[in-house]
Structure 1
């Protein structure tokens, strides 16, 4: 087993594992680490824990140290300078007439590079922009094109539910979401009603999906004939989450809602009674 510590570099960001180097780290504690590209100040998301070697990166880097007051002050200055750099970069983007939207700017902890994240509809030739930014900020410049979901995660906001966006508050990684999930949950397929601020399908469609899939496997489909205490009928409606069937009774102009588990138990008792009656008739015969 290998002792590791999980570290995040931004709120609700992806968790990266580092070697604890035989030190104890507390949740939310600031630490200085070395990534593949530069030194970064991160926050402990998962304190010391042991993992199987196959579940950790091949080149597991150690945490350099716990962040000092000076390190934290430097990070605060980096963030302030990066925010100030955003207006300069936007002016240069306009100067080069580039069809791109600048979303976020950040410095590496050691200021060895600056990262500019942007969205755009297609590929952008930003070579001239990079040269200008490098001349202004005197460091290595990296431009990253991101998607609309990443934009929402970075900027945050309020979702249709009235709460802060899941992706910007607690979802470390995006989860695959499909239109089939909305169909299984009997939701309106109106794109505006099942999409988040990013314009993509809402991440929360995934949260209850496993329950819906399990219920869909267990419950009878539309049109299935069912035996009820009021007689036989066929399924004309399903409430997968509550496991309730809406059944239209044969020969009657009435529909009744039944709890599936209770209806299943009733049918089993009827079958058992029928089987017992058959055995009794055989014995008497």
Structure 2
């Protein structure tokens, strides 16, 4: 077992493990830690805990010290300088005519490096921009291209639910989200309704997916032939949360193609009141390729999602 303390550098950011060494840090303590980028200012979000060695990436870096007044003052000064740095960088971007959207800036605690975050449709040749910025700031410059989800996390906003974005308030890591999750929950496959402000599938599709998958077990698919106490019928709708199935019963008549006709009345049955006849296996096999494609949809742009839905 290894003693670790969890430290976070940004709101809703990832929690990193550090060796507390001789310091008895507590929750919400500000600390100075050693990272690959040098010394950083962070906040303890997980008190000292013993975890398995396999859960730790070795070597584990140490907490250098608990932040004092001077450390907190320097951190505040770095935060105040961000606005000016953003404006200056934006001017340089326009000067060089680069197609990139500046999102955020970050000073390292020791003022050894300044990092600019941006988004762009493709690769950007910013070598001349870096030289220009280095001559102004007199420190190392790093330009880091991020994705649209990271952009939403940094900028924040309001989701379709009316609340602040999960990614910018409490969600520390992005989990894979697929369009199959929307299908399992009987949601509309309209991209505008199942995508967030970042243009990707909403993270909240993942939250209840396991529950829906469990409740969906044993329920027939749409269009499946089933046996009921009132006779044979065809499934026209399912209610996963209530475990109910809506069915149109077959009549004794046949249409011009020799297929059995369906009655106009719709009957509702509980899951244990119907019997599946096995046709769903054939139905699923015939759509194996399509389902595989849908399951693989992960972090895709909405334009690609639209093409999948058309198929």
TM-score range, shorter chain: 0.7 to 0.9
Q: Structure 2-normalised TM-score? A: 0.80
* Superposition map of 1:214-225 within 5 A: 214-222=214-222, 223-225=224-226
Number of the residue aligned with 1:202: 202
Aligned-partner Cα distance in 2 for 1:125–1:131: 12
Q: 1:31 to 1:259 in 2, by over 3 A?
A: farther
Q: Deviations over 1:17-60 (max 9, x none)?
A: 11121433222221111111211111112111111101001110
Aligned-partner Cα distance in 2 for 1:8–1:187: 35
Q: Deviations over 1:186-234 (max 9, x none)?
A: 2111111111111111111111111222233332333241434x56644
Number of the residue aligned with 1:54: 54
* Superposition map of 1:258-277 within 5 A: 258-260=269-271, 263=273
Q: Are 2:266 and 1:255 aligned?
A: yes
Number of the residue aligned with 2:144: 144
Shift of 1:257: 2.7
* Superposition map of 1:1-285 within 5 A: 1-222=1-222, 223-228=224-229, 233-251=233-251, 253-260=264-271, 263=273
Aligned-partner Cα distance in 1 for 2:232–2:121: 57
Which piece of structure 1 moves more, 66-75 or 103-112?
A: 66-75
Which piece of structure 1 moves more, 73-82 or 18-27?
A: 18-27
Aligned-partner Cα distance in 1 for 2:45–2:242: 36
Tell me the secondary structure at the aligned position of residue 247 of structure 1: strand
Q: 1:227 to 1:60 in 2, by over 3 A?
A: same
Aligned-partner Cα distance in 2 for 1:172–1:105: 19
Number of the residue aligned with 2:297: none
Uncovered stretches (5+) of structure 1, i.e. residues with no partner: 268-285
Q: Structure 1-normalised TM-score? A: 0.86
Shift of 1:2: 0.4
Q: Contact 1:226–1:235 (CA<8 Å) still a contact in 2?
A: no
Determine which structure has more spread, i.e. the larger CA radius of gyration: 1
